[in-house]
A and B are shown apart, each in its own frame.
Chain A
Amino acid sequence: MTRKRLAGLAFLGIPTVYLLAFFVLPLLSMAVLSLWRTENYHIIREASLGNFATLLTEPAYRTFLMRSVVMALSVSALCIAISWPVAYAIMLYGGRYKLMFSLALAVPFLTGEVLRVIALQGLLGPMGIINATLIRMGAAPLRFLMYSNVASAVGLVYLYLPISITVIYLSLSNSDARLVDAAKIFGASPVQAFFQVTWPLNLFGTMIAAVLCFIPCLSTTLVPRFLGGPDGTLYGMALSQQFGESGTWALGAAMGVVLFAVSIAATALAFRLDLRRTGYSGLGRS
């Protein structure tokens, strides 16, 4: 075997093995497990679609999924709405500190997700800074911030905002600013130049940012657990419960298969837009 062939095998083989072992096989095992059932912590290896029937017919699981989809859509939209002005401001006014600003976005990742969520719990909870200050001032505490879906949304935006800002910033920094100048020279107002040049050229980056928020939000467990309150159970939290204390692994696996399908469907839907019209050049020449 030639050296080049060996290098090729190593180059493609190692990632292939890695993906097969840690991505494809777990997915396959989850799919197989979803067809079995459990009885008091015992797996019964009898193939059926009973778990999927349960997920379809029992309103509770549909409610969890709908809550999660609505939450993920809201959080993604909020993240994009906040990220655009921040990323644009760094691009326009960052000057020689652009790199520093973009690196600063990674600072929250220096601590673990659990710590950040618990810190938020301390901030938003009934004894947190916001409500404690209001109570000391004689005002009523903000109940919607205490153990609610709003608190979960705040937590999720806080967690995924750095990712969406970074993606949009990278998209903006790689787009050709001369096109905006050209549009202005030919009479476009700054607003027209933004909506007719900058926005479409960065739509692909925006879609990536939205998807990178949407997918993890769909399966989030920690945030609703700590911030969501009695009415805040989301799909990922209910799913993790199946693999935790209730030991209903087969139902949990079926929930995982459904979550995977929904994530793929949502991503496919997001990328149905005509990328070439957005200025994306990654598809080669038509």
Chain B
Amino acid sequence: MTRDRTAFPTPPSRPTRRRALKLMAGGTAMALAAPYCIRPAEAQENTLRALMWEGYALPEVIAAFEEAHGVRFTPTFFDGNSEAYNKLRVGGSKDFDLVQADGFWPGLYYREGLIRSFDFAALSSSGGYFPTFKPETFELLMDAESGDVFGAPFCWGSYGITYNADAVPAEKAGSLELMFDPDFAGRLSTSARFEENIAMAGILVAERMGTKDAPRPDGKSFNPYVLTDEELAGVEALLIEQKRLLLTRYQDNNTLRQLLAGQAVVAAPEFAQVYRLLRAEHDAGNLPTEFDHQLVPKEGGLGWVDTWLVTSGVEDGGRLELATAWIDMITSPEVMKKISLASGCSTTVDIRSLSTPEEQALFLMDRTAELEDMYMFDQPSSTEKWERVWSNMQAA
């Protein structure tokens, strides 16, 4: 006797181990295949993609460029050179057309094939640079072998010390020792950037150890980003000592501005942007405290030149023209003036004819030559060793 299957309703299929395994296998296969099936959005002809510092993204400037060229400008922001480098290394040269970097980083990008050269001389703004930043003088953006230029200088500055001139004697302000002075315990602040904290302490440690002007193991002149193990040990000890003196490590310029203006902090190393804001407030009569900025401490200081670079993912033709058109526009004197006022940075393009004498003094327009005495921002000689120094300090 055969059972009539139609006489009974079909039982609902129950979950079994085999079905579960099938589902998981199917799911795994689909998940593994997904990266090959779902391709990242290819560069759109009507989009220009930039990996840049947030402070330079002025909406009005972007809007004017978009209107003039009929494209969309899509910026992505980063917080430090190493972060941008990480992004470029994991495929970012295909995801971005333009990238910003400072110090020795553009050279590193070029050597690793992350950026490409372009016809700098063809930029209409190329003739307007201060002599310090022209390609023949500013060699950091030129390939020594081929003579090709792979970047356009943009803004510059130091990592000098902004201090409350009413609270800090001028003789103390001229030295890096100020940032490690117990007399100002609880009233000092530094940025949260580990590279510059270690490099700045490295200058002081090398000065104290007498190794700064002595022959270096690599046969080159002293570079605070290439420290010996002994110097790094000294830096760790010095940073641990400094930690007790700090109120906080500021995360952003606005926090530092509030701390300095409120006199909770009397000295902090920064890019002079906060100093300019405080000076403007003081000059307007809104802030009684007087602030000053030590551009290069007597032991030496850190300097940087922000640049615009074209990634290696940009091929000759329309896309390269679009990328260089952006660089040409953003380094034009009128736009540089706007960016300078908005972000508080000094410009590499000579905008003295557009500036008042006060602005020329405040934005160090006659002091560009001092940059040659500074140590440029660089890649740490060993990020692993530097990370350990920073972690040990944080945990101490």
Contact = CB atoms under 8 A, between A and B. Distances in A.
Interface of A: 4-5, 8-9, 12-13, 16-17, 19-21, 24-25, 38-41, 58-61, 63-64, 121, 125-127, 132, 146-147, 225-226, 229-231, 233, 238, 241-242, 244-248, 251
B23 A16 contact: yes
Interface residues of B, number: 48
A45 B24 CA distance: 29
A251 B161 CA distance: 33
30 contacts: A4-B12, A16-B26, A17-B27, A17-B30, A21-B30, A24-B31, A25-B32, A40-B380, A41-B85, A58-B392, A60-B392, A63-B395, A64-B395, A125-B259, A127-B259, A132-B262, A146-B247, A146-B248, A226-B251, A229-B247, A230-B248, A230-B249, A233-B394, A241-B194, A242-B387, A244-B80, A245-B193, A246-B387, A247-B85, A247-B383
Contacts of A238: 391, 394
B23 A12 contact: yes
Given A13-B27, A24-B31, A132-B262, 16 more contacts: A4-B12, A8-B13, A16-B24, A16-B27, A38-B383, A60-B391, A63-B395, A127-B258, A229-B246, A230-B243, A230-B244, A230-B249, A238-B394, A241-B390, A242-B387, A244-B83
A247 B23 contact: no
Contact of B86 (A61, A233, A247): A247
B233 interface: no
Contacts of A16: 23-24, 26-27
A49 B28 CA distance: 27
B289 interface: no
A38 B89 contact: no
A112 B368 CA distance: 41
Contact of B247 (A4, A13, A126, A226): A126
Given A17-B27, A41-B85, A245 B248 contact: no
B131 to A, nearest CB: 33
Q: Identify whether the interface residues of A are mostly helix, strand, loop, or mixed.
A: helix
Contacts of A146: 247-248
Contacts of B86: 41, 247
B251 A41 contact: no
Given A60-B392, A63-B395, A225-B192, A126 B264 contact: yes
